[in-house]
Structure 1
Amino acid sequence: MKVEQIYTGCIAHAAYYIENNGEAAIFDPLREVQPYIDRANKDNAKIKYVFETHFHADFVSGHLDLKAKTGAEIVFGPTAKPGYEATVATDGQVFDLGNYKIKVIHTPGHTMESSTYLLIDENGKEHGIISGDTLFIGDVGRPDLAQHVIAELTQDKLARHLYHSLREKIMLLSDDLIVYPNHGAGSACGKNMSKETTDTLGNQKRTNYALRPDMTEDEFVEELLTGLTTPPGYFPKNVLMNLKGYESLDKVLEKAKHPLTADQFEVISERKDVIILDTRNATDFAAAFIPNSINIGIDGSFASWVGEIVSDINQKIVLVTESGREEECMIRLSRVGYDHTIGYLEGGFENWKKAGKQIDSLRRISGEQLEQMLATEELSLFDVRKQSEFDSEHLVSSKNIPLNQLNYNLDVFPKDKLFVIYCAGGYRSMIAASILKQNGYENFVDVSGGFSEIAKVTKLPKTAYVCPSTML
């Protein structure tokens, strides 16, 4: 049985494609659905089903557009209440796909409708499970997201559901089954996922902390809930879009693909309800940018950082991109529900400069330059990495302000003396720098290579702290 994993690294997401005897199924598709349609066309297959493991929080699924374009049947697990036509399966229900069978296993815990799909080949042999956010490689789905949509679904209640789902449904399955999860390392839907994106269930039973057979329910709940960070603010909004429905991506892009001259861009960007999102790399942005721009580079975890930094999912956005990457940026914004791009700077930043418009810049220094500066002057140091990264190792005397908390801690940064910001490699600190600039800060420098460069090229004093395993 061939299961094709279609992995998108920037949001650590895995969709799956299965085909047999001219019939295809897609599991947990992204919003841009043409690649799935093209894949089925390559096999001369019709997409019969779109299976959803749950109402996703970290991305907007493409199930509705796939149904509209192919006539595919959308399938959710038990208890789901979608606001559109879809099949809500019963626990144990079997769907035929050519000579394959797909069995629904209701596994509440991450969410109440969460379901795992058991894949059975043409010979009746159980091949694997598409586990959604119920079971990851090295982890399980966090149970604290649904309470942001339905208050009575507390994290304790869902964690206990997950304990029973794993032990009464998943752990009873054969060790040789292949686990196909919805996410890998880097996703905010778990806390300690492996970089591997598939494994055997048997190995997970041996190595995954959440599948220890001697765990009591209370022990499971305590371990699962310890160390969870606050979920990104856009998560509940994506859940509601996936649950209630959304505008087709084609219409979203039609409104977004609006080229603006420098003059037009200048007028629109001065509106209070519009933000300028510059998606160029940190080096180019620092050298010259349009005043009041926010920099979130497209070549990174772009969508998730937009979701962390831009609090309003309905925010109107105008884009500054590298030439030819305008549509890519629009699509990646819409993956996480930011559907209100209203135009882009035609010809990119070069056209802005050619038009003689006002520009701004940011000062960046190397790790060696930081070492030299600290030898002669007193500087405040701010580390914008995650707390877990900071706890692992950081510069002595630096203060940790995680990037996703920056907007709530602006008063911590001094306005009367020079300070330094850094992250791991310069991507996140440039996002932070653009936010600080937007808020009137001028007296700071950014370390271009981040802590990774500082650790390699300097002898600045560093401190390390090994976190207890429950904090990982």
Structure 2
Amino acid sequence: MIINQIYTGCLAQGAYYIESEGEVAIIDPLREIQPYIDKANAAGAKIKYVFETHFHADFVSGHVDLANKTGATIVYGPGAETSYYSHTAIDGEEFNIGKITIKALHTPGHTLESTTFLLIDEHGNNHAIFSGDTLFLGDVGRPDLAIKSDLTKEDLAGMLYDSLRTKIMTLADEVIVYPAHGAGSACGKNLSKETVGTIGDQKKTNYALRADMTKAEFVKEVLDSMPPPPQYFAKNAMLNKTGYDAFDQVLETGNVPLNPQDFEGMANYEEALVLDVRTHSDFIEGHIPNSIFIGLNGQFAPWVGALITDLKQPLILVVPEGKSEEALTRLSRVGYDNTLGYLEGGIDAWKASGKDVATLESISAETFAEKVKSESINILDVRKDGEYIASHLEDAQHFALDFINEHMTHIDSTKTYHIHCAGGYRSVIAASILKARGFDKLVDVAGGFAAIKETDMLTTEFVCPSTL
């Protein structure tokens, strides 16, 4: 028996390859499926099943393409209805893969169809669970993402409480837990950086599995301080339910080099959004006017999903040399399949053609600190709400980058704003969006809040919970 966790850090997502006696099951695959096929082919094995723990909201799964290419059967839990062929398991149904068995445990709560898959080894022992978003390490899945349901999030949280206590916590402590996500995912609040654990460890450390916890306490704690889901979640869940274009076609259509003239024409006449995926320092030094920055070196796909509201928005890309396919792949993981091409030769080709280049003013944390001491300036903090609450500059205006589109009217285009985040990535994203909307008096604070704190020049400006 072989179990491989295939973890993708930028999505904080775990897919699983399980092999026994020449048969393979894939659990929660990513959009790009060739690595799974190559792995099975190298072992002389056949992919028999694709198990989906639920209709994923934070990424588009590769289940449809994988089934089409390999003949594997897609398996969902009870209640799942799809526009393509899939097998809807009943609670307790068993599936054989070589000498091992996968048993479906219906665990509604995160969503109605959420199912945990229990792996029973060749000796008949419960070996591991693939818990999807039902149970994370340190947390449980958010219960507010059900598609077209009349149930409230409180109803679903109550279901999740029952699922955990009747299906998960009854398993032996040594059973391994393989979750769908780790730290950084928006599918929970307090996910661990670890990606593999055990039932016993979770009983000791996971607040949601506390032995003496009542259902009312569970519902309150799970829902407490839960931020709204990113706007793309419902759209991705629907794609996973109804199907999507083949990934190979997405690559063929989008991985097209464009010279500067054609690139500019796409932007002007096809209403294509110019998306610059280089580093934030490269964007600061020079970029195409009105382009939006979201760098590949950060949590690229989730930020695209949070900030570009239309999945069908035509995109043209400014990419580092040799990174066009990577950018297309990561866009497709969250359902953005309408890329029309990328700038051949990058920003250097754009400059060489004599076209306009814009820059973003950026100052060091030290310079920023001196300005705060010597003059009155407008400060815009675009970190998440929890980061801001934990510690922030006293006079800073705040809204989380996630919701910049909703807060555009809360700032004044006639004023100069000094923008910071935690480390410098998100502030440049925010500045690029504001610049594209006509805000031209923007100053990025390099290194963000972390660098500001290191200056030792603003100690009286910090507001922390202990001093509020």
Shared fold per TM-score greater than 0.5: yes
| 1:142 Cα offset (Å) | 0.4
Counterpart Cα distance in 2 of 1:89 and 1:410:
46
What SS does the corresponding residue of 2:105 show, helix, strand or coil?
A: strand
Q: Which runs of 5+ in 1 are unaligned?
A: 468-472
What SS does the corresponding residue of 2:166 show, helix, strand or coil?
A: helix
Q: Which runs of 5+ in 2 are unaligned?
A: none
User: Which of 148, 151, 154 is 1:153 aligned to?
Assistant: 151
Pair 1:458–1:271, CA change in 2 (3 A): farther
What SS does the corresponding residue of 2:7 show, helix, strand or coil?
A: strand
5 Å-filtered alignment, 1:303-342, equals 303-342=301-340
5 Å-filtered alignment, 1:3-22, equals 3-22=3-22
| Residue aligning to 1:114 | 114
Counterpart Cα distance in 1 of 2:466 and 2:20:
49
What SS does the corresponding residue of 1:277 show, helix, strand or coil?
A: strand
1:392 touches 1:466 (CA, 8 Å); kept in 2?
no
Counterpart Cα distance in 2 of 1:446 and 1:424:
12
5 Å-filtered alignment, 1:164-243, equals 164-243=162-241
Residue type matched to 2:434 in 1?
L
Counterpart Cα distance in 1 of 2:413 and 2:316:
29
| 1:214 Cα offset (Å) | 1.2
Residue type matched to 1:313 in 2?
L
2:418 touches 2:443 (CA, 8 Å); kept in 1?
yes
User: Which of 390, 408, 411 is 2:409 aligned to?
Assistant: 411
Does residue 275 (structure 1) correspond to residue 273 (structure 2)? The answer is yes
1:261 touches 1:346 (CA, 8 Å); kept in 2?
yes
1:129 touches 1:177 (CA, 8 Å); kept in 2?
yes
5 Å-filtered alignment, 1:295-374, equals 295-374=293-372
| Residue aligning to 1:76 | 76
2:60 touches 2:335 (CA, 8 Å); kept in 1?
yes
| Residue aligning to 2:462 | 462
Residue type matched to 1:258 in 2?
V
Residue type matched to 1:25 in 2?
A
| Residue aligning to 2:128 | 128
Measured against aligned partners, the alpha-carbon deviations of 1:4-61 in whole angstroms (never above 9, x if no partner) come to 1100000100001111111111100000000111111222111111110001000000
Residue type matched to 1:55 in 2?
F
5 Å-filtered alignment, 1:426-437, equals 426-437=424-435
Residue type matched to 1:43 in 2?
A
What SS does the corresponding residue of 2:141 show, helix, strand or coil?
A: coil
What SS does the corresponding residue of 1:270 show, helix, strand or coil?
A: helix
| Residue aligning to 2:100 | 100
| 1:415 Cα offset (Å) | 2.9
| Residue aligning to 1:398 | 396
What SS does the corresponding residue of 2:24 show, helix, strand or coil?
A: strand
Measured against aligned partners, the alpha-carbon deviations of 1:103-149 in whole angstroms (never above 9, x if no partner) come to 11000000111000111111111111000000000000000011xx3
Q: Which moved more, 1:282-291 or 1:249-258?
A: 249-258
Counterpart Cα distance in 2 of 1:414 and 1:77:
50
| 1:151 Cα offset (Å) | 4.0
Counterpart Cα distance in 2 of 1:408 and 1:447:
23
Counterpart Cα distance in 1 of 2:292 and 2:149:
33
Residue type matched to 2:127 in 1?
H
Counterpart Cα distance in 2 of 1:241 and 1:466:
45
What SS does the corresponding residue of 2:92 show, helix, strand or coil?
A: coil
Counterpart Cα distance in 1 of 2:189 and 2:154:
16
Counterpart Cα distance in 2 of 1:19 and 1:466:
53
Corresponding pairs, count: 466
| 1:375 Cα offset (Å) | 2.4
| 1:257 Cα offset (Å) | 1.7
| Residue aligning to 1:52 | 52
| Residue aligning to 1:143 | 143
TM-score (norm. length: structure 1): 0.97
5 Å-filtered alignment, 1:285-296, equals 285-296=283-294
Counterpart Cα distance in 2 of 1:440 and 1:294:
13
1:296 touches 1:302 (CA, 8 Å); kept in 2?
yes
TM-score (norm. length: structure 2): 0.97
| Residue aligning to 2:282 | 284
| Residue aligning to 1:29 | 29
> Identity across aligned pairs (percent)?
54
Counterpart Cα distance in 1 of 2:331 and 2:247:
11
What SS does the corresponding residue of 1:224 show, helix, strand or coil?
A: helix
What SS does the corresponding residue of 2:10 show, helix, strand or coil?
A: helix
Counterpart Cα distance in 2 of 1:425 and 1:118:
41
Counterpart Cα distance in 2 of 1:371 and 1:133:
43
1:368 touches 1:458 (CA, 8 Å); kept in 2?
no
Counterpart Cα distance in 2 of 1:162 and 1:240:
22
2:257 touches 2:344 (CA, 8 Å); kept in 1?
yes
1:367 touches 1:458 (CA, 8 Å); kept in 2?
no
| 1:304 Cα offset (Å) | 0.4
Q: Which moved more, 1:270-279 or 1:377-386?
A: 270-279
| 1:367 Cα offset (Å) | 0.6
| Residue aligning to 1:470 | none
2:369 touches 2:455 (CA, 8 Å); kept in 1?
no
1:50 touches 1:74 (CA, 8 Å); kept in 2?
yes
| 1:414 Cα offset (Å) | 2.8
1:288 touches 1:360 (CA, 8 Å); kept in 2?
yes
What SS does the corresponding residue of 1:24 show, helix, strand or coil?
A: strand
Residue type matched to 2:454 in 1?
K
Residue type matched to 1:28 in 2?
D
Residue type matched to 2:319 in 1?
T
Residue type matched to 2:230 in 1?
P
Pair 1:412–1:432, CA change in 2 (3 A): same
| 1:466 Cα offset (Å) | 6.3
2:270 touches 2:314 (CA, 8 Å); kept in 1?
no
Residue type matched to 2:7 in 1?
Y
Residue type matched to 1:20 in 2?
S
| 1:62 Cα offset (Å) | 0.3
Counterpart Cα distance in 1 of 2:154 and 2:32:
35
| 1:153 Cα offset (Å) | 2.8
What SS does the corresponding residue of 1:3 show, helix, strand or coil?
A: strand
